[in-house]
Structure 1
Amino acid sequence: MKHSIANPFPWFKKMTAESPVVYDTDYEHFFGSKGTWHVFRYDDVQRVLGDYENFSAEYLPKVEESPLTKALTTNDPPYHTKLRSLVSKAFTPKAIEDMKPWIEEITNELLDKVAEQGEMDIVRDLATPVPIQVIAKMLGVPYEDREKFKYWSIILIKQPSEVEGGIEGYFLAQQEMGQYFTEMITKRQKNPTNDLISHLVQAEVDGEKLSIKELIAFCILLLVAGNETTTNLINNSLLTLTENPEVQEHLSQHPKDIGKAIEEALRFRSPVQYMTRIAAKDTQLGGQLIKKGDLLNAWIGSANRDESKFENADQFDLHRTNLRHTSFGHGIHYCLGSPLARLEANIVLRILLERFKQFQLKFDRPITMNPTALMYSIKELPVVFQKR
């Protein structure tokens, strides 16, 4: 059985039952390395993501071409602790709550454009522009550059073999982002404003300011993680609602349940399908000896469909009581932006269901996916609907 990007779930089920920890010599990682351990069960995935002393996040080759080697997600303590304490100030409950009216305004403006047509492409018309505007506003970068951001984001979640120019093309995208943010950082050093880049430029930890490379890594991470994953969450939630029309109607009558629907959509179609780690020492996992230096893919999408944790895991269940999915990671690397992603998805779904009803896929054919195993990433999602 092969892994299908659009429907990986039968593969997850088979592997969880038969080969929960298995080595794949042919697997090519997005940074060029070959070979990985695939990890499928919930408990094993949680362990790999949570136990940084055995399974390190520092899996990226430390190469000059890749600013991401300085990123929060690819470093462990003590460096990770320093970085996280800095950037967490931008994600306080108050900072996120303050964005609420603005996200509502953007959502309504976007829906005004399609209201009379009775149809839209959720990806293009809603799920892409909302998170990009939010993260651009947070960082303080011009929304006019959104096409660049989207282009870079999609490259960075692909395998190098899928990128034009291969590994060189992959690193080129990072370098272009690096140059872009270097200009932004230089401007803020001279003229700080009230945005995240200015805050990071001025911030100090133990009397030290962040280096340009550290700042660039932050900006790239926030841009990619802050828009691509939330876009996927909105798309995946909407796709799931088209499959469950009775849930659409329930949520429009009971908007308080939208939060539950989002949690179940996060479990049912995880925006991030796996995370990579590297073994820091020889260790046992699922009856297998993992050698120091071995790479591992912890399949979040599989953990969230583990029948031993989630009864009827292949069913979308709005009233599921176990909401302990692992879609935002686990342990010290738990996603810092998760409250913002949840808020954006909640606002978008609430306003959509207030204004429109009877969402259906426009075409009776398989949905178009972006060619990446890293994300459950829908490329086009044309729907029809009626106004309320």
Structure 2
Amino acid sequence: MTVTTESTLPPFGLTGWAAADIANPYPVYRRYREAAPVHRAQDGTHYVFGYDAVTTLLAARDFGRRAHTADGAARPLVPNRFAALRTMVENWLVFLDPPRHTALRSALSREFSLTVVTNLRGRITEIGTALLDDIAAAAEFDFVRAFAAPLPILVICELLGVPAERWDWLRERAVAIQGASSSRAGGRTDTLAAADAAAHDLRDYFLSVAGQRRTAPRDDLISLLLRCDGLSDDEFAATCVHLMTAGHETTTNALGKAVLTLAAHPDAAARLRAAPRLHARAVDELIRFDGPVQAVTRWAQHDLVLAGQRIPRGAKMVAMLGAANRDPARFAEPDAFLPARPTAGHLGFGRGIHYCLGATLARTELEIGLGLLLPILDRCTVAAVEYPHDMVFHGPELLRLRRA
């Protein structure tokens, strides 16, 4: 844990949280945000809690995605001995800065356009309906395992053009990698080794699929990537894995947290159930109220001032999205779940050039998935919830629902 200098608050950091605070971090955020919008830790990390300061941090080109040495070289994201994992993570879109980021994002944006996602609505509905059919007779089930995890990864499999029957194998490896790239790992060698092995497996798998597509191209994301000029094998495989992990883990978390929010607000759930369809405002309010990503990191590229605090070049900046989305300076009644709230401006999908590429797809999956779930949620109670020790990718890893 780290020490703040702005107040007498206890130390703040992204590890070492109590289970109750992991499940509901917002009272903790509130105390720090009320003390100051930016807190500097003894290790030099700046934690940013206020909405205006987080928005500036995410939107300004003064902050990059990688730390650099004094001579300008990018610092490794993963220790060198985990070569497969390091190569993969360092080629992810989310860790790229312009001009590489600009070129790759431009190519991918076509595949995540509103038209493409609209054309997927029927298939998303089919997938969600089939998943619910599989648990129709179950008196109790793990919602994460039965619905929240398979729905988004089956949709991204559809986009990538990989067999749906591999979703369990793909998710197992994606979760291993995601754990190592978040606050779950804590530098543990066993966690990093498992992620490295998963990265090696996935690289081999996607390169094998690429060989098939070169012979017989299809109308899918893998074929699109193969048409991108100058994309190396490492960049290709990393992008496939990044789309898979980013395309399912956050939506899995969002679905789980949405069910918990609706269970805790039965009157709001009843109003949504009575509506002809789940309104886009309700989806965005669910993301604002309890988003699937609580924190993102940036690095100061030169000396500057943020929210009145001097930030030296090379400083690590952690934008606390969950805190910013509950800032009363931006949102009236920030701790209330109000499905009809005009929530334009929430930061659940980020801001700036790294705004979530799959935001339109995620909103559509949540709208359709929750629309299918609302009729049965009033007959279910929450039997058990478990959160991993992760304050970055945030959501229940187990959510047992029991039919009344």
Fold match, TM over 0.5? yes
Contact 1:276 1:297 in 2 (8 A): yes
- 2:23 is aligned with 1:6: yes
Going from structure 1 to structure 2, the CA distance change for 1:214 and 1:380 (only over 3 Å counts) comes to same
Following the alignment from structure 1 to structure 2, what is the Cα–Cα distance between the partners of residues 6 and 89? 36
Q: 2:263, 2:377 within 8 Å by CA — same for their partners in 1? A: no
Q: Secondary structure at the match of 1:98?
A: helix
**1:86-105 mapped onto 2 (5 Å cutoff):** 86-105=107-126
Taking the aligned partners of 1:172 and 1:187, their CA distance within structure 2 comes to 23
Amino acid at match of 1:369: Y
What does residue 369 of structure 1 align with?
A: 387
Q: Which runs of 5+ in 1 are unaligned?
A: 27-34
Unaligned runs of 5+ in 2: 1-9, 68-73
Q: Which residue of 43, 57, 64 corresponds with 1:48?
A: 57
SS in structure 2 at match of 1:219: helix
The 2-side partners of 1:193 and 1:257 are apart by 33
Give the structure 2 partner of residue 72 of structure 1.
93
Mapped partners of 1:173, 1:19: distance in 2: 41
2:171 maps to a residue whose letter is K
What is the number of residues matched between the two proteins?
370
Aligned to 1:334: 355
TM-aligned CA deviation for residue 258 of structure 1 = 3.6
- Give the whole-Å Cα distance in 2 for the aligned partners of 1:331 and 1:227: 22
Shift of residue 168 of structure 1? 3.9
- Counterpart residue number, 1:36: 45
3-state secondary structure, aligned to 2:167:
helix
Instruction: Write the distance in 2 (CA, Å) between the matches of 1:146 and 1:164.
Output: 27
Instruction: Say which SS state the counterpart of residue 22 (structure 1) adopts.
Output: strand
Query: 1:291 and 1:316 mapped to 2: Cα distance?
Result: 38
Retained in 2: the 8 A contact 1:163–1:170? Answer: no
Partner of residue 38, structure 2: 21
Q: CA RMSD in A?
A: 2.1
Provide the identity percentage: 34
Residue 152 to residue 297, structure 1, CA distance change in 2 (3 Å): farther
Q: Name which of 163, 167, 171 aligns with 1:146.
A: 167
Residue type of the partner of 1:38?
Y
Q: Distance in 2 between matches of 1:274 and 1:57?
A: 13
Q: Is 1:282–2:299 an aligned residue pair?
A: no
The CA deviation at 1:293 is: 1.4
Q: Give the Å deviation of 1:180.
A: 2.5
| Pair 202,258 (structure 1): closer, same or farther in 2 beyond 3 Å | same
What SS does structure 2 have at the residue aligned with 1:319?
coil
Change in Cα spacing, 1:48 to 1:318, as seen in structure 2 (3 Å) is: same
Q: Select 2:140's aligned residue among 113, 116, 119.
A: 119
Is the 2:154–2:164 Cα contact (8 Å) retained in structure 1? Answer: yes
Inter-partner Cα distance in structure 2 for 1:167 and 1:24: 26
Mapped contact 1:269–1:376 kept (Cα < 8 A)? no
In the TM superposition, residue 85 of structure 1 has moved relative to its aligned partner by 1.0
**In the alignment, what sits opposite 2:282?**
261
Instruction: Write the letter of the residue equivalent to 1:61.
Output: R
Check conservation: 1:132, 1:146, Cα contact below 8 A: yes
> What is the TM-score normalised by the length of structure 2?
0.86
Equivalent of 1:344 in 358, 365, 378:
365
For 1:123, what is the secondary structure of its paired residue? helix
Partner of 2:66: 58
- Separation in structure 2 between the aligned mates of residue 292 and residue 268 of structure 1, nearest angstrom: 33
1:123–1:166 CA distance, 2 compared to 1 (3 A): closer
